[in-house]
Chain A
Amino acid sequence: MQKRKFELNHLLKWRNTLDKCIRCGYCYEHCPVFKHTRWETDAPRAKLIMLYGLLSCQLEPSKYMADKIFSCFNCQQCISACSSGVPLTEIFTDARADFVNTEFDTTGTTSVTGSGCGNCLTCVRACPHDARYFKDGHIVTDSIMCQSCGICTSLCPNQSVSSTHTYGTDRVYLNRLITDFLQKQEAKVIVFGCNWSYYPDLQSSSYETESSSYIPIYEKPDPEYKILITMCGGRLTMPLLLDPFLENGWGVLVACCPEGECENDGNLTSAKRVKKLKPILTSLDIDPDRLELVNIAHGDKAGFQKAIDNFMDKIKTLGPLVDERSMNQQIRNTKYSTD
């Protein structure tokens, strides 16, 4: 496709608004992207400063900059935290429009369709933001419209949809945390929460892995369960939900927003998956009660804790998974011994 020249067509109108940002930095600590990298250059304020640099011709546009602008989960936490009422995501959307189809066009956290796509259109139908469509024999993402909710990445039967940057929300990353945790002696349960229903921010906010003592004492992790926060419950794939069981976890609790309260309908997607997984668990000799979904309203920390406590009680009654799955375990052991 012919690339157009980079021009500040959409951004221009925000010139005065960019001056409204008093650079207080209140938007930092709520941004999952900043939480993950802990680089100031990934914070919402930084994006505004960069766009200001573009508008004032003090910065040349680059792919590096575009990448930052396209890396945003559109969670709007920055807007609610902003001390000066700056409509950050609207500005970012216009900035994207200026970058799209130029030589700096890039993908960031938006979805990308890989070569394994079978054109089944599942993702097109499922996208809650009308950001995926079929064109010239391919499925493409409208990267201005895409809100990086991750629903399409989690749905594709061929696992052909992904995003370039995931900031700690991808299966590989989460799986590493699951495996690390479940190796510990007292560890029993993995709790998945979305960034809205319970809002302690992404697990990676502690910057380092578990070895870091940063995790403030108040959040000192309970040795029996681990909370993992994804951006949206709709991102939780079935394999990811099963991962903890493969590591001998005793149970998995999924916390999503109440019905009608998820912009991406990710809670519905998640509920469907949990429902589908139950018979699969049964077929694996795993009590389906070991997987449960609860709906937690935004910021309801107490409700969330109560749901976890109830689930832990139930799981402790059910006991360890190993007994139930002794057969699977045996198969595994056999495999190892023949290696």
Chain B
Amino acid sequence: MKTINIPKLKEIVGENNVKDNPADLFIYGSDASVHRAMPWVVVRPENVEQVQGLMKFADEEQIPVITRGSGSGMCGQTVPSQGGITLDMKGMNRILEINPPDVYCRVEPGVVDDDLNLALKPYGVFYPPTPASSRTATIGGEIGNNASGVRSVKYGATRDSLLGMKVVLPGGKLITLGTRTRVEATGYQIHKLIVGSEGTLGVVVEATLKFVPIPKFRCLGMANFDRLEDAGHAIADIMAGGIVPSMLELVDNVAIKAVNKTMNLGLPDVEAVLLYEADGMVKEAVDYEIDTMKNMCAKHNGTGLQSSYDAKERAKIFMGRKKLFPALSKFSELHASTSLADDMAVPYSKMAEMARKIHDVAKRNNIIMTAYGHCGSGCMHTKILMETSHQDQWESARKAVTEIYEYVRSVNGTTSAEHGIGLSKAAAFKAEKADSLELMRAIKKAFDPNNILNPGKLMDAPDDWVTATDLRYIVES
């Protein structure tokens, strides 16, 4: 560990914006992943000048800087595997401008997604990428991970909603990227490159985002399938069926069982449930899309078809999906729900096979895995339920993760749909992008010659995620 000039840091960001008590460092050493490693110090800048000062200091001293929003990333993106300064951006949380005529807003990176949407609501518009973690995720973190969510099938991911940004580079230089216009063909679109770069290229200090009108009508439907394959066919047909759902979610039977066991919601004990939603300004158009999706489900033996426009009814239909996480956590006393092989994307035609594969892999490796996800975007999520204190369970998890991503690659899928790479998906990412890694490293070097920004992540992360850092669980050998 390098000695850090704490008084200098306090000079830059103020006495009250620096923390170095071991307890604080321990807390900032975690995110929603399985990893754990402590930063050397935590600083919380309040404005752009302070970020510039910090980046100049860190670059001169060659100290790693890990930019952090809410630390809800699931792959260790904000775990300081090489120590350094954790840059907590929650101190920069102002909504700077909402501009309805020009259809954009400007925000600081620490603004929480839900807060932004509350502020936009009176204007009849919303910011759509919204991940499931929107109540805590910051715009900066969503940019870092290129977050997306249940409605991204229709409205796109963070990258699609971002018009421009201001970024501080190592050394402290502030640059303005992108525009405030809807389209741009002015050279390299560097701001789009920053999206999904997981804090390795620069510190975003302001983002210009576009928004869309809140639809007048929203209708949510549900279908049950006795066979996973049927649900898979329905997904592929819906997505090729000439309509654009605003949501298309898959929940598998492991999740259904968990919800039923712990919540008593009485979901039908089937292999898969599909939730489908359409939205729009004209009811007839929404009706048409919902009917189309219902028919597709029926064609593939979907049963229990129901749908509703009513907000309360919709909440009821969505309850099973919503209660997934607590259900998995409560599934058994001994098992914890870990974020591993947490997300991937495969072509629509492979969704069902992917889910089946996940179940097979889990069974073979003596762990429990559930498959669910925003299948309208081709996105599949899993959780691994395992006895985290048992060393052999980690061996199993390691094998399972490898097998799953081998399959993903074999069907031309991608390692991450929305959660990013961080530490825990590095091996699969490197295998998938083998021929562009050198280019990525060259880009990283152009932005960050001294490699201070989130070093040892993405293409530079170790292949073995189990030993990349300490695990955040107590593992008995």
**Contacts from A to B (Cβ < 8 Å):** 15-16, 19-20, 22-26, 28-29, 38-41, 46, 49-50, 52-53, 55-56, 58-60, 62, 64-65, 68, 81-86, 207, 212-214, 216-219
B336 touches A20 (CB 8 A): yes
What CA separation (Å) do A29 and B111 show in the bound complex?
12
Instruction: Give 28 A-B contacts (CB < 8 Å), ordered by A residue.
Output: A16-B334, A16-B336, A19-B473, A22-B339, A23-B31, A23-B71, A26-B133, A29-B112, A38-B44, A40-B27, A41-B27, A53-B26, A56-B474, A59-B22, A59-B26, A60-B22, A64-B21, A82-B326, A83-B329, A84-B330, A84-B337, A85-B329, A86-B329, A212-B94, A213-B95, A213-B96, A216-B118, A218-B121
The interface residues of chain A lying within 8 Å CB-to-CB of B184 are: none
A85 to B328, CA, bound (A): 10
Q: Are A217 and B136 in contact (CB under 8 A)?
A: no
The answer to whether B119 and A218 touch across the interface, beta carbons within 8 angstroms, is yes
Alpha-carbon distance A82/B96, docked complex (angstroms): 30
Given known contacts A38-B90, A65-B23, A83 and B96 CB-to-CB distance under 8 angstroms: no
Contact B26 A26 (CB under 8 A): no
State how many residues of chain B have any CB contact under 8 Å with chain A: 51
CA distance A109 to B111 in the complex (A): 28
CB distance from A104 to the nearest CB of B (A): 12
Given contacts A213-B96, A214-B93, A218-B122, whether A40 and B325 have CB atoms under 8 Å apart is no
Residues of B within 8 A of A26 (CB): 133, 135-136
Q: Do A24 and B32 touch (CB < 8 A)?
A: yes
Name the interface residues of B239-297: CB closer than 8 Å to any CB of A.
Answer: none
* Residue-wise interface mask of B (97-140) relative to A, using a CB-CB cutoff of 8 A (1 in contact, 0 not): 01000000000000110111011011000000000010110000
Please state if A24 and B133 are interface contacts (CB–CB under 8 Å): yes
B294 CB to closest chain A CB, in angstroms?
31
Name the B residues within 8 Å of A83 (CB-CB).
Answer: 325-326, 329
CB distance from B391 to the nearest CB of A (A): 15
CA distance A26 to B114 in the complex (A): 12
Q: Is the CB of A40 within 8 A of B28?
A: yes
Tell me which residues across on chain A come within 8 A of B171, comparing CB atoms. none
B115 with A216: CB separation less than 8 A: yes
Cβ-based interface call for B19 (8 A)? yes
B88 interface residue per 8 A CB criterion = yes
Contacts of A46 in B (CB 8 A): 27
In whole angstroms, how far apart are the Cα atoms of A284 and B33 in the complex?
61
- Nearest A-chain residue to B334, judged by Cβ: A16
B208 within 8 A of A: no
Could you tell me if A217 and B119 are in contact, using CB atoms closer than 8 angstroms? yes
In the complex, the answer to whether B333 meets A16 with C-beta atoms within 8 Å is: yes
Interface residues of B in 1-37 (CB under 8 A from A): 19, 21-24, 26-28, 30-33
Given A40-B88, A46-B27, A213-B94, the answer on whether A85 and B333 have CB atoms closer than 8 Å is: no
Closest to B121 in A: A218
Q: Is the CB of A207 within 8 A of B119?
A: no
- Docked CA distance A75–B97 (Å): 34
How many Å from the CB of B374 to the closest CB on chain A?
Answer: 17
Whole-angstrom CA separation of A207 from B112 in the bound complex: 13
Given contact pairs A85-B329, A207-B93, a sample of 12 additional A-B residue pairs in the complex whose CB atoms are under 8 Å apart: A22-B325, A22-B337, A23-B71, A23-B72, A38-B90, A39-B88, A41-B42, A58-B26, A213-B95, A214-B94, A216-B118, A218-B118
B70 within 8 A of A: yes
Q: Which residues of B contact A16 (CB under 8 A)?
A: 333-334, 336
Bound-complex Cα distance A32 to B114 (A): 17
> A residues within 8 A CB of B329?
20, 22, 83-86
Q: List the A side residues contacting B326 at CB < 8 Å.
A: 82-85
B19 surroundings in chain A (CB, below 8 A)? 39, 41
Minimum CB distance partner of B46 in chain A: A208
Q: Is there an interface contact between B98 and A217, defined as CB atoms closer than 8 Å?
A: yes
A19 CA to B42 CA, complexed, in Å: 25
The minimal Cβ–Cβ distance linking B18 to chain A, given in whole angstroms, is 11
Q: Does B82 contact A (CB under 8 A)?
A: no
Give the complex CA separation of A266 and B326 in angstroms: 32
Q: Are the C-beta atoms of A25 and B71 separated by less than 8 Å?
A: yes
- A19, B122: Cβ atoms under 8 Å? no
Q: How far is the CA of A50 from the CA of B334 in the complex (A)?
A: 21
